[in-house]
């Protein structure tokens, strides 16, 4: 399906799968996961039940190359956020396209990465509970090739990690990044003085190594793009100044100093701004966008328009990101004029930022799709139903298919343990497994 393979994916591919898994034919007898692409299925021709969340292989691969090529222009590294997909097969595609490592948010996500062979993992979060700290440190103790990093934003957090590290000695220290935050927002030191105190504690802690600084600029996002760009640049300047101060105090451990930020909206600004930081030792800028791989038809499409406007004109030769994820459902009821009920709902598709966006319509039995007429919109969803408001003159029938784009891919992936991967003609060429 995707080649080459970087990770140890056989435990996924050799595992049996059957009709008890959502999205597969309910009467399917057990087959190896790797055989899904050999069944001759077409996702839109009656071989599979609906709804279906489909990943278009060609678009995934183009998006992966796009990010690889854009970052190659700057020398910046990418550790895509694994929480977007939680799919080792997609991690494999990202690593094969040059990703520096994989970012996670929890010890469970760390374990999924480690189990399938990811060797550099950035936990962009605080490790606080004992079980999580022990499991990460034990993984470092067991595998001399594994590199792991996490965030700290208080002396108390450093002390908790150090106490656990004394009990679980590792072959390689756990790397720490001091997190800089914003007033009234989520985690992160609120002042440079607080951050410097955390850095001093981390530099002195046995079993730990202060490796860099980190922040998440996406917290400033509003509806005013121009003001957001100014705020993002200002925050990154604070992060850069913190790195210079810690470097001047001689607190960073051996190795390149990691300067990490960059969600899926401003990675271009992060790449430019942090690449300008000059310290007494080499630096490595690490951005963490995860949503680029699938992109979407809503929030990230709008944000990407600003990215394209900001990047140099000659970089645009690499093309653009495209939505790779589609959710298809069927008209199941036409109970009244102007309304169709679809066979999908909150259990199947993102709705945390905005409702899905109807994009295509395929009449029952047709071999081609048509653009969704203007004015056809989703107005609400229940657990298993979506309400499609119909413009005048549009009269879909029970059994017709409707394709929706989504806004914010993260919260569609976590609704599917198995997602079909399709070719451009919707032939099923494989599937991915998720681990939420």
pLDDT for 3: 84
Residue count of the chain, please give it: 436
Give the model confidence (pLDDT) of 155-203 as tens digits. Answer: 999 999 999 999 998 889 999 999 999 999 999 999 999 999 999 999 9
d(CA 88, CA 116): 7
User: In this structure, are strands 147-152 and 120-126 parallel, antiparallel, or unpaired?
Assistant: parallel
Rounded to 10 deg, the angle between the 225-248 and 192-203 helix axes is: 40
When pLDDT is averaged across residues 387-396 and rounded to a whole number, the result is 97
Which of 2.40.37.20, 3.90.1530.30, 3.10.20.30, 3.40.1190.10 is the CATH number of 10-55+322-433? 2.40.37.20
Residue 72 predicted with pLDDT over 80: yes
**pLDDT tens, 103-122?**
999 999 999 999 999 999 99
- Distance in Å from the first CA to the final CA of the chain: 22
- Which of the four pLDDT bands, split at 50, 70 and 90, describes residue 263? confident
Q: Among the residues of 150-191, which ranges form H helices?
A: 155-167
Q: Which of 174, 167, 194, 171 has the alpha carbon at shortest distance from 183?
A: 194
Mean pLDDT of the chain: 96
Q: Compare 314 and 151 and report the one with higher pLDDT.
A: 151
Torsion of CA 115, 7, 259, 71, to 10 degrees: -160
Q: Examine the pLDDT at 24 and tell me if it is beyond 80.
A: yes
Query: Chain centroid to CA 223: how far?
Result: 22
Distant-in-sequence, close-in-space partners of 373: CB < 8 Å, separation ≥ 6: 361, 391, 393, 394
pLDDT at site 222:
80
Q: What is the mean pLDDT of residues 72-82?
A: 95
> What is the pLDDT at residue 219?
85
| pLDDT of 4 higher than 80 | no
- Residue with the bigger pLDDT between 147 and 224: it is 147
Q: How far apart are CA 213 and CA 278, in angstroms?
A: 14
pTM score of the predicted model: 0.96
Kindly state the tokens that stand for 165: 């590290």
Q: What one-character DSSP code corresponds to residue 42?
A: B
Contact yes or no for 434/417 (Cβ under 8 A): yes
Question: Which CATH fold would you assign to the domain 74-294?
Answer: TIM Barrel (3.20.20)
The model's pLDDT over 36-58, given as tens digits with 9 standing for 90+, comes to 999 999 999 999 999 999 999 99
3-state class percentages of the chain: helix first, strand second, coil last, to nearest 5:
35, 25, 45
Q: Where do the structural domains in the chain lie, given as residue ranges? A: 10-55+322-433, 74-294
């Amino acid at each position: 399906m995707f080649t080459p393979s970087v990770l140890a994916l056989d435990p996924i591919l050799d595992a049996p799968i059957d009709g008890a898994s959502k999205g597969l034919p309910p009467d399917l007898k057990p087959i190896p996961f790797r055989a899904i692409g050999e069944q001759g299925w077409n996702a839109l021709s009656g071989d599979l039940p609906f709804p279906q969340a489909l990943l278009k292989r060609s678009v995934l691969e183009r998006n992966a190359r796009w990010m690889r090529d854009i970052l190659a222009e700057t020398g910046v590294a990418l550790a895509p956020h694994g929480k977007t997909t939680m799919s080792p097969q997609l991690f494999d595609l990202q690593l094969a396209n040059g990703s520096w490592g994989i970012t996670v948010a929890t010890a469970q996500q760390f374990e999924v990465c480690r189990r399938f062979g990811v060797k550099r993992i950035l936990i962009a979060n605080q490790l606080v509970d004992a079980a999580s700290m022990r499991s990460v440190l034990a993984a470092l103790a067991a595998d001399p090739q594994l590199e792991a990093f996490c965030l700290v934003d208080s002396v108390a957090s450093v002390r908790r990690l150090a106490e656990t590290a004394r009990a679980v000695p590792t072959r390689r220290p756990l790397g720490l990044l001091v997190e800089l935050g914003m007033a009234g927002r989520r985690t992160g030191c609120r002042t440079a003085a607080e951050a410097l105190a955390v850095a001093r504690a981390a530099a002195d802690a046995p079993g730990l190594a202060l490796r860099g600084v980190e922040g998440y600029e996406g917290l400033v996002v509003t509806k005013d793009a121009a003001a957001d760009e100014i705020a993002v640049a200002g925050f990154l300047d604070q992060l850069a100044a913190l790195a210079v101060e810690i470097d001047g105090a001689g607190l960073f451990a051996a190795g390149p100093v990691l300067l990490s930020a960059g969600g899926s909206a401003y990675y271009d600004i992060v790449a430019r701004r942090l690449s300008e930081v000059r310290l007494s030792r080499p630096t490595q800028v690490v951005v963490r966008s995860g949503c680029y791989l699938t992109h979407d038809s809503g929030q990230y499409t709008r944000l990407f328009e600003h990215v394209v406007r900001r990047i140099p004109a000659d970089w645009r030769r690499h093309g653009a990101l495209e939505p790779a994820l589609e959710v298809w459902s069927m008209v199941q009821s036409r109970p009244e004029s102007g309304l169709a009920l679809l066979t999908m709902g909150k259990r199947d598709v993102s709705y945390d930022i905005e409702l899905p966006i109807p994009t295509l319509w395929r009449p029952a039995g047709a071999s081609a799709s048509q653009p969704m007429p203007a004015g056809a919109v989703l107005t609400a969803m229940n657990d298993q139903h979506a309400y499609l408001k119909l413009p005048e003159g549009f009269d879909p029938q029970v059994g017709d298919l409707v394709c929706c784009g989504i806004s914010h891919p993260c919260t569609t992936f976590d609704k599917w343990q198995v997602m079909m991967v399709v070719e451009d003609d919707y032939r099923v060429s494989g599937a991915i497994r998720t681990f939420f």
